[in-house]
């Protein structure tokens, strides 16, 4: 396990101590993650990338980042990305507009995130460093009882 990951999670936790803000994050960080992946999925393949979907490029880069932080986190996020992709295929087969749904979930999620931070009285972590956008889902997973190996090191209490 990377000391960098522990440091990032502790730093992220500083602006996420209020119980209401935590609850909001536990609901909306996963939804925002899903919506971002959905929006990336909705982008048509790009010729300059050899006809590859932007989703796959971004997902690969994010997974590489997670691998460097912690292999267990990588595996979990690989699962999240794979399950998300399957949900997009299913939704597309039902003629759901991924762009519209993704935008709606994204906007609603961020409205609640900012409400949570208003209650907390602290700015969102990503304003300081964009990599916190990738740390948020891990932090939520820890708060929901996953990644016990990280939970113990952070002394996170549910």
Cβ-defined contacts of 3-10 (< 8 Å, 24+) = 4/69, 5/69, 5/70, 5/73, 5/138, 5/150, 6/150, 6/153, 6/154, 8/69, 8/131, 8/132, 8/135, 9/135, 9/138, 9/139, 9/142, 9/150, 9/154, 10/154
Convert the pLDDT of each residue in 13-68 to its tens digit: 888 999 999 999 999 999 999 999 999 999 998 877 788 999 999 999 999 999 99
Tell me the average pLDDT of the chain.
90
């Amino acid at each position: 396990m990377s000391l960098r990951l522990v440091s990032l999670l502790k730093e992220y936790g500083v602006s996420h101590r209020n119980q209401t803000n935590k609850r909001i994050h536990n609901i909306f960080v996963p939804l925002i993650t899903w919506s971002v992946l959905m929006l990336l999925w909705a982008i048509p393949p790009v010729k300059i990338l050899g006809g590859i979907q932007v989703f796959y490029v971004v997902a690969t880069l994010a997974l590489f980042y997670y691998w460097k932080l912690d292999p267990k986190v990588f595996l979990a996020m690989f699962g999240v990305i794979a399950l998300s992709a399957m949900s997009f295929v299913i939704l597309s087969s039902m003629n759901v507009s991924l762009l519209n749904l993704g935008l709606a979930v994204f906007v609603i999620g961020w409205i609640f995130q900012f409400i949570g931070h208003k209650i907390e009285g602290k700015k969102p972590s990503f304003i300081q460093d964009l990599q916190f956008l990738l740390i948020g889902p891990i932090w939520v997973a820890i708060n929901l009882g996953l990644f016990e190996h990280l939970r113990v090191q952070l002394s996170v209490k549910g």
